[in-house]
């Protein structure tokens, strides 16, 4: 095994200047008057009841591997479900959704969306798709479950040369495995290709314009779609916004701060407030000390449950996962942390909860699209020395997510240079767009959302003050839901940027 210094030298020697390809002119797929395009635009969607949810209809559409060079390689398949408008007589159009990630599957989401917002479901055909590379669509293969578990092996806080070399080697291996096992497919897993798939879907639905709802990464997807096809957008709601006017590098550099902020300023005071229930410390400082002591104990003595090993990186993963939504995740996370404190006497129910929590993190299938999209979409600094220095700073200052920074960024250092078009989001030609974000969102940090809002001309930003949930619409906040429903149903937008108060934090369940 080479040294970290030799790895740096190799990376620098292989670095290539960022591509400067501009986005293709906006235009629907129907404007492509070639016989090659006709095989896609001439498709008919064969709708049948979905196996997973009979309230939905499912179909599949073929898309080209490369929209910019039709005929390059084999076609891809995109799975598309829909929920028909509950009142066809009052139907006002199509609402297209997308899932986050990048790499989350969304096949059954229209059913849940309509159940949560029946008035919107009555007015729209709600449709979604599994993005190329994801779920039931043509997907990439990078690593097995066992191989990907090694990606999170050890302790990301360990800054010894041997530990750093191990992190770099595993990231390099992941990139190598993706390229070897998925061929050229991963080159075409990027947001620009995905929005062209979306526009083909729109045309096959037989509508000139769609409305759109997308959370998290789907804000990036929606902003790119609106930029490349503004003439096909009627209304758009972007919920919990990635900094889509910037780069994925800037997005990832913002997350260590925002996850740490959510953990220290929101979660730790909350669990301390209920010390009589969770026994984790009566102040935020005491709770943090308990958490850090447990992390150190897992470093020295990891816990094994079946094929699952719970070490310090796994504690980080479970904790950051719990930061996304207070009402849905904090009580479960607090119960898991409590169980770890008395593991030798934990009940069977606690063992099962711990196993479920720690097994439920990024899968190799998710990573096989997440990394291609984030590495392909925008340029990355390929100086590994820079990332070693930067990750050292973030590990010290924002350890919850900063410690893993090198593993994620090194993957993109070793990713091939992408020729995906550089898309500049401006909002030109769009109707007013509605943007939602909480001030302490851990994954899509508020500061980045504000910059995205400034770039998206004519948008209105609804700031949820005092909270930090990721995903604001249909999250139990009547203020947010009222604004979004009025916009989707009647086109009403706030005259200016506005605010909504956060909903109350959860209380422990009785008997916890």
pLDDT in tens, 354-384: 999 999 788 999 999 999 999 999 999 999 9
Identify the CATH class of 55-60+79-137+208-247+424-501.
Answer: alpha beta
Phi and psi at 250, nearest 5°, equal -65, -35
**Could you tell me the pLDDT band of residue 512, with boundaries at 50, 70 and 90?**
low
pTM here? 0.92
The secondary structure of residue 330, as a DSSP letter, is I
- Where does 106-243 have alpha helices with state H? 109-116, 118-123, 145-151, 161-182, 191-204, 217-228
pLDDT tens-digit map of 72-103: 899 999 999 999 998 888 899 999 999 999 99
Give yes or no for residue 49 having a pLDDT over 70.
yes
Tell me which residue of 239, 237, 244 sits closest to 220, measured CA to CA. 244
Tell me which residue of 305, 282, 281 sits closest to 293, measured CA to CA. 281
Write the CA distances from 21 to 184, 423, 434, integer angstroms.
Answer: 19, 9, 29
CB–CB of 506/472 below 8 Å?
A: no
**Could you tell me the pLDDT band of residue 15, with boundaries at 50, 70 and 90?**
very low
489 Cβ contact partners less than 8 Å away, ≥ 6 residues apart: 92, 119, 120, 123
Give yes or no for residue 32 having a pLDDT over 60.
no
504 Cβ contact partners less than 8 Å away, ≥ 6 residues apart: none
Give yes or no for residue 28 having a pLDDT over 60.
no
- Give percent above pLDDT 70 in the chain: 93
Residue 408 DSSP SS3? helix
Strand 303-305 to 308-310 pairing = antiparallel
- Residue spans per domain, the chain: 55-60+79-137+208-247+424-501, 140-188+259-377+381-414
Looking at residue 16, what is its pLDDT? 25
Q: What is the distance of C-alpha 507 from the center of its chain?
A: 28
The secondary structure of residue 54, as a DSSP letter, is T
User: Residue 501's CB: how many other CB atoms inside 10 A?
Assistant: 12
Mean pLDDT of the chain: 92
Per the listing, tokens 């780069």 go with 247
Phi and psi at 415, nearest 5°, equal -80, 145
CA dihedral 205, 208, 213, 215 (to 10 degrees): 90
């Amino acid at each position: 095994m080479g040294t970290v210094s030799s790895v740096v030298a190799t990376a620098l020697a292989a670095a290539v200047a960022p591509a400067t390809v501009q986005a293709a002119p906006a235009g629907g797929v129907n404007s492509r008057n070639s016989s090659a395009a006709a095989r896609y635009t001439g498709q008919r969607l064969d709708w049948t009841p979905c196996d997973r949810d009979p309230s939905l209809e499912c179909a599949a559409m073929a898309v080209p591997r490369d929209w910019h060079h039709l005929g390059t390689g084999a076609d891809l398949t995109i799975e598309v479900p829909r929920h028909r408008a509950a009142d066809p007589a009052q139907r006002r159009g199509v609402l297209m959704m997308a899932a986050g990630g990048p790499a989350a599957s969304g096949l059954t989401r229209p059913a849940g969306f309509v159940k949560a917002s029946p008035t919107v479901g009555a007015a729209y055909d709600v449709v979604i798709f599994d993005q190329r590379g994801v779920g039931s669509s043509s997907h990439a293969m990078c690593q097995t479950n066992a191989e990907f578990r090694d990606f999170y092996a050890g302790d990301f806080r360990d800054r010894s040369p041997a530990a750093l070399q191990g992190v770099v080697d595993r990231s390099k291996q992941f990139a190598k495995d993706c390229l070897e096992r998925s061929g050229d497919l991963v080159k075409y897993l990027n947001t620009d290709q995905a929005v062209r798939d979306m526009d083909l879907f729109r045309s096959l639905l037989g509508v000139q314009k769609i409305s759109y709802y997308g959370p998290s990464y789907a804000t990036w997807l929606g902003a790119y779609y609106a930029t490349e096809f503004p003439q096909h957008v009627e209304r758009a709601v972007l919920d919990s916004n990635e900094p889509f006017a910037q780069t994925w590098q800037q997005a990832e550099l913002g997350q260590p701060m925002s996850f740490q902020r959510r953990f220290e300023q929101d979660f730790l005071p909350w669990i301390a407030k209920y010390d009589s229930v969770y026994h984790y410390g009566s102040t935020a400082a005491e709770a943090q000390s308990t958490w850090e002591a447990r992390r150190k104990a897992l470093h020295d003595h990891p816990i094994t449950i079946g094929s699952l090993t719970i070490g310090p990186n796994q504690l980080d993963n479970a904790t950051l996962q719990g930061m996304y939504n207070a009402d849905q995740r904090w009580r479960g996370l607090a119960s898991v942390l409590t169980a770890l404190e008395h593991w030798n006497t934990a009940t069977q129910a606690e063992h099962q909860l711990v196993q479920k929590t720690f097994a439920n993190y990024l899968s190799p299938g998710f990573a096989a699209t997440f990394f291609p999209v984030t590495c392909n979409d925008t340029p990355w600094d390929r100086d590994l020395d820079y990332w070693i220095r930067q990750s050292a700073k973030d590990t010290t200052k924002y350890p919850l997510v900063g410690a893993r920074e090198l593993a994620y960024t090194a993957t993109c250092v070793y990713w091939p240079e992408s020729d995906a078009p550089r898309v500049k989001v401006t909002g030109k030609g769009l109707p007013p767009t509605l943007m939602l974000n909480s001030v302490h969102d851990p994954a899509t940090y508020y500061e980045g959302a504000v910059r995205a809002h400034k770039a998206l001309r004519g948008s209105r930003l609804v700031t949820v003050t005092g909270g930090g949930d990721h995903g604001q619409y249909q999250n139990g906040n009547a203020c947010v839901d009222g604004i979004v429903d009025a916009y989707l149903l009647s086109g009403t937008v706030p005259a200016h940027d506005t605010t909504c108060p956060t909903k109350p934090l959860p209380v422990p369940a009785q008997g916890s």
